[in-house]
Structure formats: C-alpha cells, structure tokens
Amino acid sequence: MVFIPRPYVTVAIPMYNNGRFIRETINSVLAQTFTDFELLIYDDQSTDDSYEIASSFMDRRIRLYRNEENLGPEGNWNKAISNVRGRYVKLLCGDDILFPHCLEKQVAAFDEPLNRGVSLVSSQRTIIDPESKTLIKKLNFIDAGRKDPVEVIRKIVRMGTNIIGEPVCGLYPAELIEKTRGYSAIVPYTIDLDFWIQLLKHGDLLVIDEPLCAFRISNLSCSSKIGELRYQQFLEFMVQVASDESHEVTDLDLFIGKINCAVQSMTSFMGFRLFAAPSSERKSMTVPS
C-alpha cells in the first residue's frame, strides 16, 4: 500500500463549461509559491472541452473527476469539498485566478498563533474581464484585520453587497465543513456569502488587505446569468440574515441595506453588461438610458 502524505491545503475547482478559462485557472494554482496542496477538479458533465483540457495536466497533485450526471452549482460545489484531505480548503471557480502568493499568505495568517479562533481568512480581489485584463485593481469593501462576526454580518446587510468576496477570496479550515450545512443555493446569487456566514458562526474573519486573487466577470459566469435578479435575490438573503437574532441586525441596518442593495445591483448589472462580453462584442453594445 502506497502512503500518500496529507496535503496542507486542498484547492477544489467545481467545473462546468469553463473551457475558455480553465487552463489559466489551473495554471494559477500550479504556480503557487506554497506548494503543499492537492488540486481536486470536479467536472459537472461539461459539454465543451473543459474535461479534456483539465485532463491534459500531468501534475501529481491533481485529481480529476467527472460527475455521472449534471448536479448544478450547489451539488457540484458540495461534492468538490466532500472528500478533501487538506487542513485548509479553498474553493475556486473554473474561471477565476489565484495570484502566486495567495496560498502562502493565507496559510501564514491561519498559522499565526495570535489568529487562533479565526474561521475564515479572506483577501481583497482584482476584477478582470474575459481577456484577463484588469478592470478594478483592488476591490475593497472591508478594511484589513481581524473582524467580529456580528459586525461583519451587520455591515454586509448595511452595504447590500458581498463585502467578504467570492469563493476565490477565502480560505477556511476543513474541520469546519461538517459543522455547516454546506453550500446552499436556496438564494442562488448568495451561495458563497451564505457559506461565509455559516463559517463565521465558528470564529472571526481575518482580512488581508491585498489583492491575492482575481474574480472574472464574463457572460458565462453564474453572476452574469443571474443579471437583473440580483436585487431581488440579495434582498431575500438580507431578510433571511436579519431574521436570525444572533446576527443582531437592526431595522435601521436593513433599511439602509435595501437602499444600498438597489444601488449595488444597478452598478453590478451595468458592469456586467459593459464588461462581461468579449471585447470584440462590446463596441456594438449600448447602455440603456
């Protein structure tokens, strides 16, 4: 029997029709300065060449799986973290990118003795377009440092947006997975933020004030497909969060949040409309008045 050492980190990629971007995504993981990781890729019955591209990588740290049937985002995200061996876990969508020092700096934050009691380490992120060109170098909704969960959750509601970041931004302890209900798409737009809040029931948030990853907007992404439903879904999520008394969300928080949510939703919609399409298609697009 061959002994396979347990990796320190698991990077999990739930993949579906990411053929255009998956090579760049995988390469960004393999280029990490922190090398003690496993990379699990779960293909959700892609109809493009995603699986073939992923299978062309020969790195021994990669394990590639193909679901017997299409599970959808919720099912595939949960499957991707169902058999991790690492001490820490990062879920990475198949079109996003890790910058070279991402794992190194996030693991170091967890391993710092003063940071005991932290359940989620997140970083700032860069926003990129389908051609990997930078649209926003550093998207920052929350300052650096250790944050109390209640204050973070109340700020999420007041801001009306995801201040922590997408899955690519976070790293969390594998041991906490069984203490959550996993990724839930009851409100599809907030599947990642719902999971972050579940983790924050078990410890603090630590924010690294540096973009260590890139979140891609494209017309193929889940966020782009939700489009105009963003406001309705985030509002539903805010009301759910406010209904949990442990979050200490006030009526004023919710009132302010509804206003900001409308603004954030319009900004998000316009941004996806302008930049999510390939540059060759943008010239013919107009912004509705």
Q: Is the dihedral of CA 182, 87, 100, 45 positive or negative?
A: negative
pLDDT at residue 288 in the model: 43
Q: What is the pLDDT of residues 43-82, one digit of tens each?
A: 999 999 999 999 999 999 999 999 999 999 999 999 999 9
pLDDT at residue 224 in the model: 46
**Residues in a beta bridge with 11:** 39, 90
Distance of CA 202 to the CA centre of its chain: 19
pLDDT at residue 280 in the model: 54
DSSP symbols for 177-235: GGGS-----SSGGGHHHHHHHHHTTSSEEEEEEEEEEEEEP-TTSHHHHHGGGHHHHHH
The architecture of the domain spanning 9-274 is Alpha-Beta Complex (3.90)
Residue numbers of the chain with a pLDDT score lower than 50:
224-225, 282, 284-289
Q: What is the CA radius of gyration of the chain?
A: 18
pLDDT at residue 286 in the model: 45
Residue with token string 């990724």: 183
pLDDT at residue 269 in the model: 60
Q: Supply 188's token pair.
A: 């599809």
pLDDT at residue 220 in the model: 62
Computed over every residue of the chain, the mean pLDDT equals: 91
pLDDT at residue 267 in the model: 77
pLDDT at residue 253 in the model: 97
